Amino acid sequence: MKKIFKKLLFKILNSPEINGSSVFSGFSRGIKNVVFEGNNAVPHGCNFSGKVTIGFASTLGYNNFIHGDVTIGKYCQVGVDVGIFAKNHPTNYMSTYINKNLFNGELKSIRQENKIIIGNDVWIGHNVIIVGNVTVGNGAVLAAGSVITKDVLPYSIVGGVPAKIIKKRFTDSIIQEIEELQWWNYSESELEKIKPLFFKDFENKISIYE
């Protein structure tokens, strides 16, 4: 009986709920704090607080924690167990403790309030942590397990603790062409017209139009 109940509960929690064009599965907290631009996917165990915007077609992973003033661009994919924290504890004061158990929570007024901006077409790997006042450029790749504490250049691959640049995905000329194209702002019909570009291998190329 217990096993049947567990299976039933699991099925209920993981049954997708479609809200507009976005899909929500399982149970997540703080959804009301998020502006979804459409075609998003939010799986079980996500937690949001603050002011969060998630761009068109961007999808999250299980157990994502997104807190503070955070903007995620369009067509991003976020892996499992990712933490994005624009808020942080104060380090230049007597204590880092901001819980209500000390001075009835008045120390929350000195909490660090930063802003995190994640560009378009960004891939964030499993167990990545992003903290502080950080901008992640378009097309960047954040390797699994990385801790991001500084800005990430567009179309770069970063990894490590703290994260450092590993390499650029493309030549500077190709990066410039993609940035100028801004395909993530295209409609579906417009994307169909440039579809062949998405199937090209840009390794050792200097232009996306070669």
pLDDT digits (tens, 9 = 90+) for 58-113: 999 999 999 999 999 999 999 999 999 998 887 778 877 888 887 887 878 878 88
Length of the chain: 210
For 151-156, what is the mean pLDDT? Answer: 98
Is pLDDT of 55 > 70?
yes
Beta bridge partners, 35, equal: 53
Structure tokens at 185: 């702002």
Q: What is the DSSP string of the chain?
A: -HHHHHHHHHHHHHSEEEETTEEEES--B-GGGEEE-SS-EE-TT-EEEEEEEE-TT-B--TT-EEEEEEEE-TT-EE-TT-EEESEE--SSSS----STTTGGGGGGGGSEE-EEEE-SS-EE-TT-EEESSEEE-TT-EE-TT-EE-S-B-TTEEEETTTTEEEEESS-HHHHHHHHHH-GGG--HHHHHHTGGGGG---TT-S-TT-
Class of CATH domain 20-169: mainly beta
Q: Tell me, yes or no, if 67 is annotated catalytic.
A: no
Q: Where are the domains of the chain?
A: 20-169, 170-210
Distance CA 185, CA 178 (A): 12
Decide if pLDDT at 16 tops 70: no
Is the per-residue pLDDT at 14 higher than 80?
Answer: no
Are 56 and 38 within 8 A, CB to CB? yes
Catalytic residue (choose from 44, 67, 89, 126): 89
pLDDT band at 173 (very low <50, low <70, confident <90, very high): very high
Mean pLDDT for 189-203 is 96
pLDDT over 70 at 10, yes or no: no
Give the strand pairing for 34-36 and 47-54.
Answer: parallel
Higher pLDDT, 103 or 28: 28
Q: What is the mean pLDDT of residues 25-32?
A: 91
